[in-house]
Amino acid sequence: MPEYWLDSNSFIEPSKGPYHPDIVPGFWTFLEQKAEEGLIASCLPVYDELQDGQAELSKWAAKLNDRGFFVAPDPSVQAALSKIADHVKNNYPDHNASKFLDGADPWLIAHAKAHGGKVVTFETRVGPTSRKPKIPNVADRFGVHTLDLYRLLHELSASFG
């Protein structure tokens, strides 16, 4: 299974500027190569989020989806998601818990928990009094490591020279 599970913002933010496909096509080729090597992946709810955005990014995501990059949950992921959902429902206000649980974020954490690996996201930890669940905080609760995209690029020795 992949070592890294990518959040939708790991595609959306780079495509808006610093790694726009017209500016740094090597970034997108690099992601495709690492996906083919089995080092990175994402989950189907991330694919769904990408389909609601920029046309160019949604086409790119569709190409990767055809190659199996966006992984469907298996029973171990569903079991992990159940525990994550219980934690979020019990520790955050209903409206914030529902918003978090309706998106891809808990699925990413569940995939990483069930199959090992780290979650790649631009979300940052919030303090213990925060009323909004964030990937790093929830992931910490389940022993799942998080990092941002730039740290991932460093760990995988990316170079777009």
What pLDDT does 107 receive?
98
> In the predicted model, what is the mean pLDDT of residues 24-46?
97
> In the predicted model, what is the mean pLDDT of residues 94-106?
98
Neighbours of 79 (CB within 10 A): 14
Query: Would the pLDDT of 14 be above 90?
Result: yes
Query: Would the pLDDT of 141 be above 80?
Result: yes
Q: How confident is the model at residue 104 (pLDDT cuts 50, 70, 90)?
A: very high
**Spacing of C-alpha 13 from chain mean position:** 12
Q: What residue ranges define each of the domains in the chain, with the CATH number in brackets?
A: 4-155 (3.40.50.1010)
Sheet holding 4-6, edge to edge: 70-71, 40-43, 4-6, 118-120, 146-147
Query: Would the pLDDT of 153 be above 80?
Result: yes
Query: Would the pLDDT of 52 be above 90?
Result: no
Q: How confident is the model at residue 142 (pLDDT cuts 50, 70, 90)?
A: very high
What pLDDT does 144 receive?
98
CA distances from 24 to 18, 35, 46, 92, 130 (A): 8, 18, 22, 39, 36
